[in-house]
Structure 1
Amino acid sequence: METKTTDELKHEIRAATAIEDYLKSNRDNLNLRSLPEHLAFLLSRKGISKAEVVRGSLLSRAYVYQIFSGEKTPSRDRLIALAFGMGLSEDEAQSLLKVSKNRELYARDERDAVILFALQRGQSILAANELLFEHGFKTLGVPEEFV
């Protein structure tokens, strides 16, 4: 099944005569996964391991595994670090933030704009952190034991 855009879904809501019909016909397009379920889905889709996510995110192994198991609820910055660790696209990173009920990256926010720039170019978290540091912003992926 093809994923519908948010605009397409909004149009269908406007056209719907009953919310039940909309929900039933769009079940596959709604964010119904928990964060651990969504992370497992992304791992599978990307064909990567949790160990690779740990290496690419600069987060501690124990903390990443606790996030994946649902034992820990990560901050927005730690989710963004995971997005870099998983090699997510901008859209995938935005979806991850939505599923976790965090604010999406916003192009009008200077720090978010730097992060979006790095995501759009497929940069590593190290490159993103370098850009953040150069512009005077807090970096991503500080290991849990140093927080």
Structure 2
Amino acid sequence: MNNETIELMRVLKNIKDESCLDEYLVDIYDKYKGLEFKTFFEDILKHKQITKSELIKNACIDRTYGYQILNGSKKPSRDKVIKLCIGASLDIKETNKALRLADCGELYSKNLRDAVIIFGVNKGIGILKLNELLYDRGLACLDD
């Protein structure tokens, strides 16, 4: 867990009654509202100065489907989120954040497939090379 999560868990543990819980929930809602997958990637694109079309091409995702994911009209699969993250050259922390925002679960180092993906993200390996690494180890490639 990251430091922010640990702190939030500590605060929750020390809440004395329901009224304090309600205050906490309002504070958390105010802090995290509007932070959604679509917004996260809009910020990434702006920060990295890449276009949606470049990202979709780098991620090896169908053009129409990629735009639907980025505009929020389609919910992406876990593999599509990973491909977008690789296409945007995100680090592991940013990738896990995107996976959380998409409700897809973070990469887990004790899972063999996830371990190979983590390796690929950490080394900046592209989609094709990562799929090759997965395939060579008998693991499912990132979906097309």
TM-score band w.r.t. shorter chain:
0.7 to 0.9
The answer to whether the 8 A contact 1:94-1:104 is kept is yes
Who is 1:13 aligned against?
Answer: 12
- Report the AA paired with residue 39 of structure 1: F
Identify which range, 4-13 or 68-77, moves more after superposition: 4-13
Report the Cα offset of residue 122 of structure 1. Answer: 2.0
- Report the AA paired with residue 81 of structure 1: K
Report the Cα offset of residue 86 of structure 1. Answer: 1.0
- C-alpha separation in 2, matches of 1:121 and 1:79: 18
Say which SS state the counterpart of residue 5 (structure 1) adopts: helix
- Report the AA paired with residue 88 of structure 1: L
- C-alpha separation in 2, matches of 1:87 and 1:31: 26
| Alignment CA distance shift 1:78-1:106 (3 Å) | same
Who is 1:102 aligned against?
Answer: 104
The equivalent position to 2:74 in structure 1, one of 50, 72, 81, is 72
Identify which range, 22-31 or 55-64, moves more after superposition: 22-31
- Residue by residue over 1:26-82, the C-alpha shift from the partner in whole angstroms, topping out at 9 and shown as x without a partner, is 457536423222221222233221122112111111111111112221111111111
The answer to whether the 8 A contact 1:58-1:141 is kept is no
- C-alpha separation in 2, matches of 1:16 and 1:43: 39
Q: Alignment RMSD, CA only?
A: 2.2
Say which SS state the counterpart of residue 103 (structure 1) adopts: coil
- C-alpha separation in 1, matches of 2:64 and 2:86: 18
Report the Cα offset of residue 24 of structure 1. Answer: 4.5
- C-alpha separation in 1, matches of 2:54 and 2:143: 14
The answer to whether the 8 A contact 1:132-1:138 is kept is yes
Which structure exhibits the higher relative contact order, with contacts defined as CA atoms closer than 8 Å and separated by 6 or more residues? 1
1:41-80 equivalence runs, <5 A: 41-80=43-82
- C-alpha separation in 2, matches of 1:80 and 1:41: 17
Who is 2:38 aligned against?
Answer: 36
Paired residues in the alignment total 140
Say which SS state the counterpart of residue 74 (structure 2) adopts: coil
Report the Cα offset of residue 120 of structure 1. Answer: 1.6
Say which SS state the counterpart of residue 76 (structure 2) adopts: coil
The equivalent position to 1:127 in structure 2, one of 114, 121, 129, is 129
- C-alpha separation in 1, matches of 2:116 and 2:95: 14
